[in-house]
């Protein structure tokens, strides 16, 4: 249950500041609201600590765990990250996001206890701790309801963590002072900050800042949602989306790309959650139901993209087999741009196969979703399919070395050959999570295309991946 009184006081304090000062409605004001939001309930004595400079990042990275990597990347030095080695959470586009707001005195030991719990209980996660104490410093990404319930129970029963908890962001649904959200590839907190800015902007335009309240804010969000997301057949929709693009330009200081269906979908779902979670009868079951609903949409997207990629793989294989590989890139780009099957090979009845499938619609959907032109999509596909990057090569080397040790080289060659012929992962051992790892990098399709493009047979590939014997 969110703290509505705290949220109401926060809105009124912002309105009072805006009423008393000549402040421009711009990116700087957005940043001010956003950072004020993150510091709600954080003790004043904790606000100047830098966890990285004070050695906490270094200490966390020193801890060796069986199933979790801990690291700080050069491009993201303001966060210490923790990722389960199975990479399941890393490969997901949508997560259950869990904010655990800990004070400075409890954060070092508390984070270790949380990550140890996830590690010891085989919970897939993608987690990070920011360098400053805020109500979103500790963020855990999970992939299912079962793991969420385990973590919430652990925190509830851990007296040390309970002692260190501060109040969460009052605009987020929380369960026992643990804030929960789902926001895809955007930020829930930034979206709330942007809506707060738009609400206050509207009140100032009507000389009504003294009327600012939490109820008024939620009415504003509900109306905005109805205008922007509900009626997609509205003849004025281009105008509405143009306004939306401008309204949410404060986050990155540039307009939102409204041609990207995935971005619009994320903003729609986050706005829906902002509205739903403020209800007094909104419970954990409602939150999980929202997550599952979003996931169904994401799964549909993944199915369409995978279907498009698999069909394109088949088309390229047939063009290579026919000897058309030098022209296949140009031909496929022209087919996508025109929809004309004449650009595809007749070999293997490819044109009829494509005509009787959803390939063209799937490709068009994928281009919109990924914001790619036909040339960009096909070029990326070819670069990925015809070149075995380091990740794929290292995985092949590991698999062949393991198979040779456990089954012998002949059996390993036979199993890998059957897998490539059928793409049936039953031929790949589950040991060391090889099946999931093969699937994650689309190894079967990529290796088949690589072998056809280069003329290498399976023996050559295996020999190139085996360690040199001296």
Q: What is the mean pLDDT of the chain?
A: 88
Question: Is 362:389 a contact under the CB 8 Å cutoff?
Answer: no
* Mean pLDDT on 334-339: 89
Pick the closest to residue 98 from 109, 114, 113, 86 (CA basis): 114
373, two tokens: 């032109």
Q: Are residues 303 and 256 in the same domain?
A: no
**Domain presence at residue 179:** no
Q: Are residues 315 and 371 in the same domain?
A: yes
Burial degree of 461 (CB within 10 A; 0-12, 13-18, 19+): buried
**Domain presence at residue 250:** yes
Q: Are residues 51 and 155 in the same domain?
A: yes
From 132, 166, 200, the end of a domain falls on 166
Hunting for tokens 């606000």 — which residue is that? 47
Q: Are residues 194 and 225 in the same domain?
A: yes
Cα distance between residue 72 and residue 79, in whole Å: 7
* pLDDT value for 319: 76
H or E segment to which residue 266 belongs: helix 261-277
Question: Is 79:72 a contact under the CB 8 Å cutoff?
Answer: yes
Burial degree of 14 (CB within 10 A; 0-12, 13-18, 19+): buried
Q: Are residues 316 and 419 in the same domain?
A: no
Cα distance between residue 428 and residue 437, in whole Å: 10
**Domain presence at residue 181:** no
Q: Which residues pair with 99 in a beta bridge?
A: 139, 179
Q: Are residues 149 and 242 in the same domain?
A: no
* Mean pLDDT on 266-280: 91
Indicate the number of domains in the chain.
4
Q: Are residues 160 and 54 in the same domain?
A: yes
**Domain presence at residue 214:** yes
Cα distance between residue 243 and residue 209, in whole Å: 22
Residue 31 has pLDDT above 50, yes or no: yes
Looking at 48-144, list the stretches that DSSP marks H as alpha helix, in order from N- to C-terminal side.
Answer: 56-62, 88-91, 104-120
**Domain presence at residue 231:** yes
pLDDT digits (tens, 9 = 90+) for 394-421: 899 999 988 888 889 999 999 999 998 8
Residue 385 has pLDDT above 70, yes or no: no
**Domain presence at residue 350:** yes
Q: Are residues 85 and 161 in the same domain?
A: yes
427, two tokens: 């031929």
Cα distance between residue 283 and residue 289, in whole Å: 10
pLDDT-based confidence at 469, cuts 50/70/90? very low
From 249, 282, 315, the end of a domain falls on 282
* Mean pLDDT on 237-262: 83
Q: Are residues 408 and 460 in the same domain?
A: yes
Q: Are residues 305 and 276 in the same domain?
A: no
**Domain presence at residue 36:** yes
pTM listed for this prediction: 0.69
From 244, 260, 282, the end of a domain falls on 282
124, two tokens: 């897939």
**Domain presence at residue 178:** no
Cα distance between residue 317 and residue 386, in whole Å: 11
Q: What domain range includes position 437?
A: 390-465
Q: Are residues 67 and 154 in the same domain?
A: yes
304, two tokens: 């369409």
pLDDT digits (tens, 9 = 90+) for 55-101: 999 999 999 888 898 999 887 889 999 999 888 888 787 899 999 99
Q: Are residues 299 and 194 in the same domain?
A: no
Torsion on CA atoms 303, 305, 307, 313, rounded to nearest 10: -150
Pick the closest to residue 170 from 194, 197, 135, 139 (CA basis): 135
* pLDDT value for 59: 96
């Amino acid at each position: 249950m969110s703290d509505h009184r705290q949220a109401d006081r926060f809105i009124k304090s912002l309105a009072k500041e805006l009423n008393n000062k000549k402040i421009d409605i711009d990116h700087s004001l957005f940043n001010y609201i956003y950072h004020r939001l993150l510091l709600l309930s954080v003790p004043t004595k904790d606000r100047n600590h830098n966890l990285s400079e004070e050695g906490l990042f270094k200490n966390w990275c020193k801890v060796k765990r069986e199933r979790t990597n801990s690291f700080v990347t050069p491009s993201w030095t303001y966060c210490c990250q923790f990722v389960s080695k199975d990479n399941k959470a890393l490969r997901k586009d949508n997560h259950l996001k869990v904010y655990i707001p800990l004070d400075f005195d409890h954060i070092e030991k508390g984070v270790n206890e949380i990550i140890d719990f996830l590690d010891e209980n085989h919970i897939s996660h993608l987690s990070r701790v920011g360098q400053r104490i805020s109500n979103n410093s500790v963020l855990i990404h999970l992939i299912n309801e079962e793991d969420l319930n385990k973590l919430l129970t652990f925190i509830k029963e851990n007296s040390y963590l309970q002692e260190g908890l501060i109040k969460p962001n009052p605009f987020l649904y929380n369960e026992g002072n643990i804030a929960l959200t789902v926001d895809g590839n955007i930020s829930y907190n930034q979206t709330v900050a942007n809506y707060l800015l738009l609400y206050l902007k509207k009140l100032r335009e009507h000389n009504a800042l003294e009327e600012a309240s939490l109820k008024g804010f939620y009415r504003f969000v509900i109306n905005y949602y109805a205008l922007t997301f509900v009626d997609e057949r509205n003849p004025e929709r281009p105008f509405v989306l143009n306004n939306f693009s401008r309204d949410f330009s404060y986050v990155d200081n540039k307009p939102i790309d409204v041609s990207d269906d995935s971005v619009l979908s994320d903003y729609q779902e986050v706005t829906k959650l902002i509205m739903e979670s403020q209800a007094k009868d909104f419970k954990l079951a409602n939150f999980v139901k929202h997550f599952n609903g979003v996931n169904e949409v994401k799964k549909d997207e993944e199915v369409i993209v995978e279907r498009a990629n698999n069909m394109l793989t088949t088309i390229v294989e047939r063009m290579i087999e026919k000897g058309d590989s030098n022209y296949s890139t140009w031909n496929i780009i022209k087919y996508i741009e025109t929809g004309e099957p004449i650009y595809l090979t007749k070999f293997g009845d490819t044109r009829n196969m494509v005509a009787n499938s959803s390939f063209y619609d799937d490709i068009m959907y994928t281009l919109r979703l990924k914001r790619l032109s036909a040339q960009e999509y096909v070029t990326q596909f070819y670069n990925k399919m015809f070149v075995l990057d380091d990740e794929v090569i290292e995985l092949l080397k590991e698999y062949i070395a393991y198979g040779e040790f456990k089954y012998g080289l002949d059996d390993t060659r036979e199993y890998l050959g059957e897998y490539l012929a059928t793409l049936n992962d039953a031929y790949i051992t589950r040991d060391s999570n090889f099946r999931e790892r093969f699937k994650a990098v689309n190894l079967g399709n990529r290796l088949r295309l690589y072998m056809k493009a280069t003329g290498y047979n399976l023996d050559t590939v295996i020999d190139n991946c085996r360690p040199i014997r001296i």
